[in-house]
């Protein structure tokens, strides 16, 4: 009986190890996708990829902005204004996503990012973050920009877990640059 029990225990440990490995691989795959999503959102406005930006935006935000078409018009207006003023996004770098926090049927993650924008005669570097929300165990994510005040955030995300650590907000850094003629 002991040898059989030993084999069963070894088999259990082996299968458990495979399961942990697959969960880790799935988590890593989600993190890569989340970072790519954040980059696409930040750069999408300046690249004219408005539909993709809206796809990645939390449905509650889309609703509050008057729906998909109204939001698309607003994003296009911002795009045209920025372009007309000589403002462009130089780069968007997503940082390492936080630990996943689950509350009810939703999974949350905080993703810091660094955004570099060029203005006529200046460059701005801004650290920010988005909150990712998944309602299907991480298969799909939508996002809310963390630049809003926390009480506004609670309006959009009433189930936001208390134990989800939000980064401190920082001021943008501006530096003068010489324009190339």
Check residue 26 and give its pLDDT: 58
Where b means 16+ CB within 10 Å and e means fewer, 88-108 reads ebeebebeebbebbeeeebbb
Q: How many domains does the chain have?
A: 1
Check residue 169 and give its pLDDT: 87
Assess if residue 78 is contained within a domain. Answer: no
Assess if residue 64 is contained within a domain. Answer: no
Nearest to 40 by CA among 27, 55, 26: 55
**10-residue stretch averages of pLDDT, the chain, 181 residues long:** 43 39 61 91 84 94 94 91 90 91 91 92 94 94 89 86 91 88 62
Assess if residue 166 is contained within a domain. Answer: yes
Q: 170 lies in which domain range?
A: 2-41+87-176
Euclidean distance between CA atoms 38 and 92, whole angstroms: 8
Assess if residue 80 is contained within a domain. Answer: no
Assess if residue 165 is contained within a domain. Answer: yes
pTM summary value: 0.80
């Amino acid at each position: 009986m002991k040898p059989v029990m030993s084999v069963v225990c070894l088999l259990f440990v082996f299968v458990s190890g495979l399961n942990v490995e697959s969960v880790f691989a799935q988590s890593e795959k989600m993190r890569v996708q989340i970072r790519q999503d954040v980059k696409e959102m930040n750069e999408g406005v300046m690249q004219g990829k408005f539909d993709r930006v809206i796809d990645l935006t939390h449905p509650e935000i889309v609703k509050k902005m008057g729906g998909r078409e109204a939001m698309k018009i607003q994003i296009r207006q911002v795009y045209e204004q920025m372009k007309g003023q000589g403002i462009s996004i130089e780069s968007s770098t997503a940082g390492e996503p936080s630990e996943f926090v689950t509350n009810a049927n939703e999974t949350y993650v905080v993703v810091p990012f660094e955004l570099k924008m060029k203005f006529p005669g200046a460059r701005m570097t801004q650290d920010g973050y988005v909150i990712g929300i998944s309602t299907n165990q991480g298969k799909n994510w939508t996002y809310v920009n963390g630049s809003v005040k926390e009480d506004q955030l609670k309006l959009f995300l009433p189930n936001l877990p208390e134990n989800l650590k939000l980064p401190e907000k920082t001021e943008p850094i501006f530096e003068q640059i010489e324009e190339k003629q």
